[in-house]
Amino acid sequence: MVKTIFNLCSLVLIVGLSNLSSQVYIALGGNYSSVAKSTLELEPMYQTNPAFGIGRVFSLTDKLHFNTEIQYSVKGFKTKGAYIREGTLFVPNANSNYRVHYMDFAPHLELSTGQYVSVLAGVNAGLKLLETYNDITLEELNLPDHKKYDFGYLVGGKISYQDIWLRLMVNVGVVNMLDNSPTLVHESRNIQMTVGVNLNQH
């Protein structure tokens, strides 16, 4: 019953959006990410990673727009003073990085507050493609992997000029990525800045 209702709502949304004016765009930029509420003995720090995506924006009114966007987005964090070798944790004076490669779906509303400025709010759902520790897969290190998905909300702003725009989004994860551990907690935090170009209008 729930699946039927979901499918009907999705169909209504698709049919409704198909009748609206829309525009396709591409975006390229980077993430500045870490984790919050972490119970690691070593404090996680922010690190930079690439992100790019393609989306379509639908005009609901002159000022309100609905964006559907798919991204390839790399997130994660780094620590100072630890690394893993053959499944064993060592704590010398070294830096380590942990990266998760996601396919993100980021639908969001965009409200124009001026001629060039907009504010954004929406959600982010990520499907994990790959995760590495110091650029080595966790399978090679014989380590348990994290959840296969992530979910959170996003807020941000955008400055536009003609068909080019600059966007800043803050994504707050609400899912514990370490559900396979009874003691460790990781919730993703990500600041993303992208430059986008509108391609065409329908």
Average pLDDT over residues 50-70: 94
Say if residue 110 is exposed, middle or buried (CB neighbours under 10 Å; 0-12, 13-18, 19+): buried
Q: What's the whole-number average pLDDT of the chain? A: 81
Q: Is the pLDDT of residue 43 over 70?
A: yes
Characterize 133-166 residue by residue with b for buried, 16 or more Cβ atoms within 10 angstroms of its Cβ, and e for exposed.
beeeebeeeeeeebbeebebebebebebeeeebe
Q: What is the mean pLDDT of residues 121-137?
A: 85
Q: Tell me what pLDDT residue 87 has.
A: 58
Query: Tokens standing for 101?
Result: 């490669």
Domains in the chain with CATH codes: 22-201 (2.40.160.20)
pLDDT-derived band at 187 (thresholds 50, 70, 90) equals: confident
The alpha carbon dihedral of 9, 57, 75, 154 has a sign of negative
Least confident of 5-14, 59-68, 134-143: 5-14
Reply yes or no on whether the pLDDT at 15 is more than 60.
no
User: Which residue's entry shows tokens 């979901």?
Assistant: 6
pLDDT of residue 158: 97
Query: What would the pLDDT profile of 136-183 be if each residue is shown by its tens digit?
Result: 665 665 565 678 889 999 999 999 999 999 999 999 999 887 766 666
Please tell me the predicted confidence (pLDDT) of residue 41.
61
Tell me the per-residue pLDDT of 68-117, one tens digit each, with 9 for 90 and over. Answer: 999 999 998 887 765 555 556 655 556 778 888 999 999 999 999 988 99
Q: How confident is the model at residue 201 (pLDDT cuts 50, 70, 90)?
A: low
What is the pLDDT at residue 4?
A: 53
Side chain identity at 81, as an amino acid letter? G
Counting residues of the chain whose pLDDT is more than 90, the rounded percentage is: 49
